[in-house]
């Protein structure tokens, strides 16, 4: 056979194949009788994307297993409306390109009902449009960015963490009331985290009150120049919008430069067990550090929520080391079960989103959830914690505020206790 | 692409070499025919696969532009680049900025995508020329060092100039929906596959012609022996710059297509890891042949998925699962790399050629 | 002026570590014409060995010695079990195999120790000593300088004053002739790998306590800086590695102190371009160009 003839035959074959395949391919539209993706009478399939490997995975890799453990606990207690929750955890290594792949796999191939607690601002931002156009509920994004609160543009996306501006305002409020007249400085990550936090600080204290502002990039682990500048400027209070690794670096670097300011740390970077594990013998430097949090302290064994979560961790999570990330993951799971219950027996994507919009959920957190038809941001406040005698504990009242110019108010609603069997009921 | 004069008409002798019997078939026509066949095949496949597989196939096509470009540079011209991820970022960000500029002015027609893709290629050509001029002076590890720095710097610039590039969070890429004539329920991923395939095939036709042209021969001559090439009248530095520019242009197109697929760009997607993975992909695929680039692109998409599936086969206690989750795929990937490079240094394509080598050889012997 | 001095000393102590790490890269390059991209991962593996030994015995120094031994062994094993089997005709093959090793080592460490930061102990205080009201070097910084200095001197001594060093140099530069003269060329190569990996492990032990802590990826960024340093200095030149390392350390410190941390990558690129465009073989390239 001549090459041309061979090629001609190949093309002819292809055309035949094409004709037949187009004929039998069908574009099935979602008819009214179509089942809801990811939901059967016995199962609800939910997915998430998390960094389980890579440099960003430290700490975060424990969140999704904790959530899954809570779901397993709920499943062992009969599930939600008779349905068991299956949680598909996909590793994206905090790389937005991987997030694109794994989220599409979850939605298009695994046909998950919803995406829950996808972690990271740069990673999750990239899939917002995709999730929106596929009408997938996108609940409780694990980041304090304000991007998740855009009900007009992304009606199915909801946040979870208090946003960084709210945190910044609460920390600055503490400076204003308890540390007046001190020289305040600010170290932030060079992205929306640091920027939004600084906005919050300046809203309360005024732009002139911050004596020195420094940023760091995660690709450079030497923060001595920044800390040296603080020392030279005579800072007495340093507010940190840093991830845990850089909180530890900043504190450690300051100590070796003989610089001892009052540290105020945003929620993301203030988990004491994480920090002291990293500092090792130098953990004593964290003494007096003030942080902000909105979930029960992992070391508060008297707290009924911590008792519940410790039990779940023991029974369903292989008794993994218990820290703030575990509490966070389980709190996400609890809220999701609450929302599923509220969405009712006839679970659809619409009824789920409607249930979140209705709001009014109370769970482990000390702070109020803000969900409403017009507000898709998560928790709207927090409480300050202090490390004292090597133990991180809450002090003072819980505060609530908004990300705009609203005042920082005390929030006085009493915390609720978990239900007796640890599973919310309708 | 005009700057590189890439689609140079095949010379008489090149066509004659290919000639087996009958009328001479011009190389360009032959490549166009193959591309048309491949296009029809993809069209057929796109109806057989579900949306996710369509998307994966489209991602393969987008990566293919970059791996094919890298194959030209490293396989044909012998220059090492650890910075192709950065060139992809250049294309992706240019496309994002163009699409946003069009959308801001109310131009949302699907056709403007062609303009944006063109702009992305032009921008990468400019960057590629800059790096290429510097690279032409360097050899071996020094070239690796320079391109490594490029790979680190370009994503970092998006944070430095976050007013334009919006830092770590990146930019959204507004895309027109699939044409209404395809029906309301036409899967968007299938449409994406079509768009990306057309662009990739055009890119491959250009590259395939380049490989067969006098430029391609000059590339190989420079790779094999610079002194001999110079004696033969080839301007070595200019040839290397041309190779770098062509390679950059394809990488830029690949990056832009990735942005089209993801409908967003952010620096995290184009880090050093991507550059290293691109190089691994082309070497494992088989350097020196465009077919190797196809294998490489397939590997880039399929291997993480495949290893994940393998991991899922084990049922483990939660504690062990937490340890292995994510790490086991990495370990499998790493082992595969090492074993392939030791057992089959010619890469997948080398293996395929060797396996398939026996048959055609015997078959050809029967010809006069 | 205070700030300048502060940034200079800070940059030098970090640069010393880059220098040691760059030295490790130069050693392997001179021995086998391979840029060992797995150097960082191998150093981290050695540091994890130190962590385990220190945790078991309670002694930092036992862990320190264990890390150096682990580094030496790992280098030898990588050469004998992996690199020797690789087809070296294409210079790319060893690079790809090294990248594969990086993935494998990261994955195994992640499986054994978890992807969490573990505390890395420093044997001396990192609190800076104050001289005339100015915080200068800490005892730990002095330890770093001393360790890098000792290793540098030891390498010079081995390569210039001992028979084995002479054999290693001969095996690297004229393998065929050396073989004819009865030198065990492949043995020398393995020894080169072991030495380089040992020096890398030392650099890892020195730098990890100053970073975020012990993590499978702890040396990724250090590798990039040290590779830059080695290229700037010239991969064939051990003095070049030292000068390059100190130079890169100073540059990073000045840029992040005076201009902002986000400009560091750009500064590194500019440095590389400036040096390589003037001297394509690095600052300390041999005068007779290697180019044919």
Could you tell me if C243 and C283 are in contact, meaning their C-beta atoms sit under 8 angstroms apart? Answer: yes
Closest partner residue to C263 (CB to CB) among B140, B160, B345 is B160
Closest partner residue to B156 (CB to CB) among A130, A219, A319 is A219
Instruction: Please give the tally of structural domains in chain C.
Output: 1
ipTM: 0.85
State the smallest CA–CA distance between residue B349 and chain A in angstroms.
21
Boundaries of domain holding C10 = 2-121+131-278
Reference B143, options C148, C277, A224; nearest CA is C277
Rounded to whole angstroms, the Cα distance separating A401 from A403 reads: 7
Rounded to whole angstroms, the Cα distance separating A297 from B34 reads: 65
Mutate to test the interface with B, among C31, C109, C269, C271 (most CBs of B within 10 A): C269
- Backbone φ and ψ of A157, nearest 5°: -100, 135
Contact B185 A29 (CB under 8 A): yes
Tokens at C192, concatenated: 């080169």
Could you tell me if C155 and C238 are in contact, meaning their C-beta atoms sit under 8 angstroms apart? Answer: yes
Closest partner residue to A25 (CB to CB) among B47, B267, B268 is B47
In chain B, what residues touch A52 (CB-CB under 8 Å)? 325-327
| One domain for residues A189 and A272 | yes
Tokens at B179, concatenated: 């044409």
Interface of A with C in 271-300 (CB under 8 A): 277-281
Confidence category of residue C292, pLDDT binned at 50, 70, 90: very low
pLDDT at A419 over 60: yes
* Tens digit of each residue's pLDDT (9 = 90 or more) over A366-380: 898 989 999 999 899
Quick check: is C193 in a domain?
A: yes
Quick check: is B193 in a domain?
A: yes
| One domain for residues A232 and A304 | no
| One domain for residues A285 and A343 | no
Quick check: is B102 in a domain?
A: yes
pLDDT at A386 over 90: yes
pLDDT at A130 over 80: yes
Contact B326 A93 (CB under 8 A): yes
At B13 the pLDDT is 46
Neighbours of chain C (3+ CB pairs under 8 A): A, B
Rounded to whole angstroms, the Cα distance separating A312 from A270 reads: 24
Closest partner residue to C103 (CB to CB) among B80, B160, B337 is B337
**Boundary-marking domain end, from A261, A277, A293:** A293
Q: Does B353 touch chain A (CB under 8 A)?
A: no
Q: Helix or strand or coil: residue A313? A: helix
Alpha helices in A60-163 (DSSP H): 63-76, 96-104, 121-125, 128-133
Q: Does A217 touch chain C (CB under 8 A)?
A: yes
Report the 10 Å Cβ neighbour count for A31.
Answer: 7
In chain A, what residues touch C110 (CB-CB under 8 Å)? 53
In chain C, what residues touch A277 (CB-CB under 8 Å)? 116-119
At B307 the pLDDT is 67
Closest partner residue to C128 (CB to CB) among A232, A257, A278 is A257
Most confident of A245-254, B200-209, B354-363: B200-209
Rounded to whole angstroms, the Cα distance separating C210 from A248 reads: 11
What is the dihedral angle through the alpha carbons of B307, B310, B316, B320, rounded to the nearest 10 degrees?
-20
pLDDT at B347 over 90: no
Q: Does B108 touch chain A (CB under 8 A)?
A: no
* Tens digit of each residue's pLDDT (9 = 90 or more) over C62-96: 999 999 999 999 999 999 999 888 887 777 788 88
* Mean pLDDT across A211-222: 84
Quick check: is B284 in a domain?
A: no
- What CATH number is associated with residue C146? 1.10.3470
Could you tell me if A169 and A408 are in contact, meaning their C-beta atoms sit under 8 angstroms apart? Answer: yes
Mean pLDDT of chain B, nearest integer: 84
Rounded to whole angstroms, the Cα distance separating A289 from B88 reads: 43
What is the DSSP pairing of strand B264-265 with strand B171-172? Answer: antiparallel
Query: Angle B168-B172-B176 (CA atoms, 0-180°, nearest 5)?
Result: 165
In chain B, what residues touch C30 (CB-CB under 8 Å)? none
Alpha helices in B49-83 (DSSP H): 51-70
Give the distance, in angstroms, between the CA of residue B33 and the centroid of all CA atoms in the same chain.
21
Residue written as tokens 């995508």? B113
Quick check: is C158 in a domain?
A: yes
State the smallest CA–CA distance between residue C4 and chain B in angstroms.
24
Quick check: is B353 in a domain?
A: no
Boundaries of domain holding A181 = 164-293
**Boundary-marking domain end, from A293, A326, A346:** A293
Q: Say which range, A241-245, A280-284, B48-52, has the weakest mean pLDDT.
A: A280-284
Report the 10 Å Cβ neighbour count for A181.
Answer: 7
Quick check: is C250 in a domain?
A: yes
Contact A96 B301 (CB under 8 A): no
| One domain for residues A191 and A281 | yes
Q: Which position has the higher pLDDT, B212 or C259?
A: B212
* Mean pLDDT across A353-363: 91
Could you tell me if B288 and B342 are in contact, meaning their C-beta atoms sit under 8 angstroms apart? Answer: no
Please state whether B167 falls in left (phi above 0), alpha (psi between -120 and 50) or beta: left
| One domain for residues A69 and A189 | no
Residue written as tokens 């001594």? C157
Interface of B with A in 250-269 (CB under 8 A): 258, 261-264, 266-269
* Mean pLDDT across B268-293: 87
* Tens digit of each residue's pLDDT (9 = 90 or more) over B40-96: 999 999 998 888 999 999 999 999 999 999 999 998 998 889 999 999 999 999 999
Instruction: Please give the tally of structural domains in chain B.
Output: 1
Tokens at A79, concatenated: 């599930």
Mutate to test the interface with C, among B141, B151, B317 (most CBs of C within 10 A): B141
Rounded to whole angstroms, the Cα distance separating B159 from A217 reads: 9
Give the distance, in angstroms, between the CA of residue B341 and the centroid of all CA atoms in the same chain.
21
Could you tell me if B281 and B297 are in contact, meaning their C-beta atoms sit under 8 angstroms apart? Answer: yes
Residue of chain B minimizing CA distance to A6: B34
Tokens at C69, concatenated: 């031994």
Quick check: is B42 in a domain?
A: yes
Residue written as tokens 């819980």? A398
Quick check: is B254 in a domain?
A: yes
Q: Say which range, A19-23, B356-360, C258-262, has the weakest mean pLDDT.
A: A19-23
Contact A100 B37 (CB under 8 A): no
Reference B124, options B9, B298, B257, B213; nearest CA is B257
Q: Which helix (H) or strand (E) holds A210?
A: strand A210-216
Most confident of A222-226, B227-231, C130-134: B227-231
Rounded to whole angstroms, the Cα distance separating B53 from B46 reads: 9
Q: Which H, E and C letters describe chain C, residue by residue?
A: CHHHHHHHHHHHHHHHHHHHHHHHHHHHHHHHCCCCCCHHHHHHHHHHHHHHHHHHHCCHHHHHHHHHHHHHHHHHHHHHHHHHHCCCCCCHHHHHHHHHHHHHHHHHHHHHHCCCCECCCCCCCCCCCEECCEECCCHHHHHHHHHHHHHHHHHHHHHHHCHHHHHHHHHHHCHHHHHHCCCCHHHHHHHHHHHHHHHHHHHHHHHHHHCCCECCCCCHHHHHHHHHHHHHHCCCCHHHHHHHHHHHHHHHHHHHHHHCHHHHHHHHHHHHHHHHHHCCCCCCCCCCCCCC
pLDDT at A225 over 50: yes
Could you tell me if B123 and B1 are in contact, meaning their C-beta atoms sit under 8 angstroms apart? Answer: no
* Mean pLDDT across C92-120: 87
| One domain for residues A168 and A157 | no
Q: Does A213 touch chain C (CB under 8 A)?
A: no
State the smallest CA–CA distance between residue C120 and chain A in angstroms.
7
Residue of chain C minimizing CA distance to A55: C217
**Boundary-marking domain end, from A361, A379, A397:** A379
State the smallest CA–CA distance between residue A212 and chain B in angstroms.
19
Contact B52 A105 (CB under 8 A): yes
* Tens digit of each residue's pLDDT (9 = 90 or more) over A36-78: 899 999 999 999 999 887 777 777 888 999 999 999 999 999 9
Residue of chain B minimizing CA distance to C285: B142
State the smallest CA–CA distance between residue A395 and chain B in angstroms.
34
* Mean pLDDT across A167-186: 92
What is the DSSP pairing of strand A114-116 with strand A157-159? Answer: unpaired
Closest partner residue to A228 (CB to CB) among C6, C126, C212 is C6
In chain B, what residues touch A129 (CB-CB under 8 Å)? 172, 263-264
Instruction: Please give the tally of structural domains in chain A.
Output: 2
Contact C215 A55 (CB under 8 A): yes
Give the distance, in angstroms, between the CA of residue B219 and the centroid of all CA atoms in the same chain.
18
* Mean pLDDT across C12-16: 91
pLDDT at A389 over 50: yes
Query: What residues contact C55, with CB distance under 8 A and at least 6 apart?
Result: none
Contact A25 B184 (CB under 8 A): no
Q: Of all residues in chain C, what percent carry a pLDDT higher than 70?
A: 96
pLDDT at A83 over 90: yes
Reference C172, options C182, C161, C186, C160; nearest CA is C186
Strand extents, DSSP E, A282-414: 290-293, 381-388, 391-400, 409-411
At B23 the pLDDT is 60
Interface of B with A in 186-225 (CB under 8 A): 186-189
State the smallest CA–CA distance between residue C116 and chain A in angstroms.
5
* Tens digit of each residue's pLDDT (9 = 90 or more) over B283-336: 888 887 888 899 999 988 887 777 677 766 666 665 666 677 667 777 887 888
At C266 the pLDDT is 87
Confidence category of residue A131, pLDDT binned at 50, 70, 90: very high
Q: Which position has the higher pLDDT, A271 or C49?
A: C49
Report the 10 Å Cβ neighbour count for B359.
Answer: 9
Quick check: is A223 in a domain?
A: yes
At A24 the pLDDT is 45
State the smallest CA–CA distance between residue A238 and chain C in angstroms.
18
Boundaries of domain holding B135 = 2-270
Quick one: DSSP state of residue A50? E
Contact A226 C261 (CB under 8 A): yes
Neighbours of chain A (3+ CB pairs under 8 A): B, C
At A222 the pLDDT is 81
Rounded to whole angstroms, the Cα distance separating B334 from C121 reads: 30
- What CATH number is associated with residue A210? 3.40.50.2300
Tokens at B41, concatenated: 């095949």
At B199 the pLDDT is 95
At C220 the pLDDT is 85
At B10 the pLDDT is 42
Quick check: is C229 in a domain?
A: yes
Contact C120 A280 (CB under 8 A): yes
Quick check: is A7 in a domain?
A: no
pLDDT at A332 over 50: yes
Contact A105 B258 (CB under 8 A): no
| One domain for residues A118 and A210 | no
What one-character-per-residue DSSP string does B237-299 give?
HHHHHHHHHHHHHHHHHHHHHHHHHHTEE-GGGGSHHHHHHHHHHHHHH-TTSHHHHHHHHHH
pLDDT at C136 over 90: no
What one-character-per-residue DSSP string does A287-304 give?
TT-EEEESS--TT-TTSH
Buried b (16+ CB within 10 A) or exposed e, C76-109: bbbbbebbeebeeebebbbbbbbbbbbbbbbbbb
* Mean pLDDT across A413-426: 86
Query: Angle A319-A324-A325 (CA atoms, 0-180°, nearest 5)?
Result: 70
């Amino acid at each position: 056979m001549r090459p041309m003839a061979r090629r001609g035959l190949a093309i002819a074959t292809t055309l035949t194949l094409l004709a037949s395949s187009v004929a039998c391919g069908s574009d099935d539209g979602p008819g009214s009788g179509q089942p809801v993706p990811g939901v059967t009478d016995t199962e609800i399939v939910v997915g998430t994307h998390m960094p389980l490997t890579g440099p960003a995975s430290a700490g975060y890799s424990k969140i999704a297993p904790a959530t899954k453990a809570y779901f397993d606990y709920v499943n062992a207690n009969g599930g939600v409306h008779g349905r068991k929750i299956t949680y598909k955890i996909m590793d994206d290594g905090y790389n937005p390109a991987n997030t694109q792949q794994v989220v599409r796999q979850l939605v298009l191939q695994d046909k998950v009902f919803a995406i829950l607690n996808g972690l990271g601002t740069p990673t999750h931002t990239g899939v917002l449009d995709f999730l929106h156009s596929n009408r997938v509920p996108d609940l409780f994004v694990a980041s304090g960015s304000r991007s998740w609160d855009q009900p007009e543009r992304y009606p199915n996306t909801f946040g979870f963490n208090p946003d960084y501006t709210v945190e910044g305002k609460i920390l600055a409020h503490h400076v204003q009331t308890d540390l007046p007249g001190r020289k305040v400085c600010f170290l932030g990550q060079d992205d929306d985290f640091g920027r939004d936090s600084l906005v919050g600080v300046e809203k309360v204290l005024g732009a002139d009150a911050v004596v020195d502002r420094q940023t760091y990039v995660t690709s450079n682990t030497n923060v001595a120049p920044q800390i040296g500048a603080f020392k030279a400027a005579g800072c007495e209070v340093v507010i940190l919008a840093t991830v845990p690794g850089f909180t530890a670096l900043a504190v450690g670097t300051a100590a070796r430069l003989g610089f001892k300011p009052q540290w105020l740390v945003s929620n993301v970077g203030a988990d004491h067990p994480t920090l002291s594990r990293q500092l090792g013998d130098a953990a004593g430097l964290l003494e007096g550090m003030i942080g902000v949090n909105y979930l029960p302290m992992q070391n508060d064994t008297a707290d009924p929520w911590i008792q519940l979560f410790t039990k779940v961790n023991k029974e369903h999570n292989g008794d993994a080391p218990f820290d703030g990330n575990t509490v966070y993951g389980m709190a996400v799971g609890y809220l999701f079960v609450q929302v599923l219950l509220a969405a009712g027996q006839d679970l659809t994507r619409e009824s789920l989103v409607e249930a979140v919009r209705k709001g009014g959920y109370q769970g482990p957190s000390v702070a109020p959830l803000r969900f409403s038809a017009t507000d898709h941001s998560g928790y709207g406040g927090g409480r300050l914690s202090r490390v004292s005698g090597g133990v991180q504990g809450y002090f003072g009242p819980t505060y609530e505020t908004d990300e705009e110019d609203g005042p920082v108010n005390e929030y006085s609603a009493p915390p609720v206790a978990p239900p007796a069997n640890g599973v919310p009921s309708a | 692409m005009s700057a590189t004069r890439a689609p140079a008409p095949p010379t008489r002798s090149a066509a004659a070499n290919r000639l087996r019997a009958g009328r001479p078939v011009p190389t360009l026509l032959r490549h166009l025919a193959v591309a048309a066949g491949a296009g029809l095949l993809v069209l057929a496949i796109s109806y057989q696969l579900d949306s996710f597989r369509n998307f994966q196939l489209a991602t393969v096509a987008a990566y293919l532009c970059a791996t094919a470009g890298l194959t030209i540079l490293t396989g044909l011209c012998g220059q090492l680049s650890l910075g192709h991820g950065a060139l992809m970022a250049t294309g992706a960000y240019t496309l994002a900025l163009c699409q946003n500029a069009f959308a801001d002015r109310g131009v949302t027609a699907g056709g403007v995508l062609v303009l944006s893709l063109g702009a992305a290629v032009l921008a990468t050509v400019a960057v590629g020329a800059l790096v290429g001029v510097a690279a032409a002076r360097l050899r071996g590890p020094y070239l690796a060092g320079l391109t490594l720095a490029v790979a680190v710097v370009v994503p970092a610039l998006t944070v430095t100039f976050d007013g334009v590039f919006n830092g770590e969070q990146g930019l959204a890429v507004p895309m027109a929906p699939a044409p209404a004539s395809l029906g309301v329920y036409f899967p968007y991923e299938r449409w994406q596959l079509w768009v990306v395939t057309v662009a990739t095939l055009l890119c491959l036709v250009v590259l395939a012609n380049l490989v067969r042209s006098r430029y391609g021969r000059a590339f190989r001559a420079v790779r094999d022996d610079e002194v001999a090439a110079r004696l033969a009248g080839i301007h070595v530095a200019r040839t290397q710059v041309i190779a770098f520019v062509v390679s950059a242009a394809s990488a830029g197109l690949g990056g832009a297509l990735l942005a089209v697929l993801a409908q967003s760009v952010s620096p995290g997607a184009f880090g050093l890891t991507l550059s290293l993975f691109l190089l691994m992909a082309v070497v494992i695929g088989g350097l020196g042949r465009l077919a190797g680039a196809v294998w490489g692109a397939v590997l880039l998409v399929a291997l993480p998925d495949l290893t994940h599936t393998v991991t899922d086969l084990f049922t483990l206690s939660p504690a062990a699962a937490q340890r292995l989750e994510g790490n086991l795929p990495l370990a499998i990937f790493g082992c595969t790399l090492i074993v392939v490079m030791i057992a089959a240094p010619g890469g997948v394509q080398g293996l395929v050629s060797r396996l398939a080598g026996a048959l055609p050889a015997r078959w050809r012997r029967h010809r006069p | 002026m205070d700030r300048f001095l502060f940034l200079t000393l800070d940059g030098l102590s970090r640069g010393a570590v880059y220098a040691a790490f760059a030295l490790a890269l130069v050693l392997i390059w001179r021995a086998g014409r391979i840029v060992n991209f797995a150097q960082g991962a191998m150093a981290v593996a050695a540091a994890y060995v130190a962590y385990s030994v220190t945790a078991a015995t309670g002694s930092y120094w036992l862990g320190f010695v264990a890390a150096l031994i682990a580094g030496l062994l790992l280098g030898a094993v990588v050469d004998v079990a992996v690199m020797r089997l690789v087809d070296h005709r294409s210079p790319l093959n060893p690079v790809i195999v090294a990248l594969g090793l990086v993935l494998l080592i990261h994955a195994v460490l992640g499986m054994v120790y978890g992807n969490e930061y573990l505390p890395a102990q420093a044997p001396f205080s990192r609190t800076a000593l104050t001289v005339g009201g100015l915080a200068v070097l800490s005892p730990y910084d002095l330890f770093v300088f001393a360790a890098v200095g000792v290793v540098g001197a030891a390498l010079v001594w081995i390569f210039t004053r001992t028979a084995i060093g002479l054999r290693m140099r001969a095996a690297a530069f004229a393998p065929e002739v050396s073989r004819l003269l009865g030198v065990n060329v492949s043995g020398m190569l393995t020894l080169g790998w072991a030495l380089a990996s040992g020096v890398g492990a030392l650099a890892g032990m020195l730098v990890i306590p100053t970073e975020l802590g012990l993590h499978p990826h702890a040396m990724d960024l250090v590798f990039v800086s040290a590779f830059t340093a080695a290229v700037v200095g010239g991969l064939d030149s051990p003095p070049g590695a030292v000068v390059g390392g100190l130079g890169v350390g100073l540059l990073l410190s000045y840029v992040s102190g005076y201009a902002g941390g986000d400009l560091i990558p750009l500064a590194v690129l500019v440095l590389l371009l400036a040096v390589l465009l003037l001297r394509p073989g690095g600052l300390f390239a041999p005068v007779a160009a290697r180019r044919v």
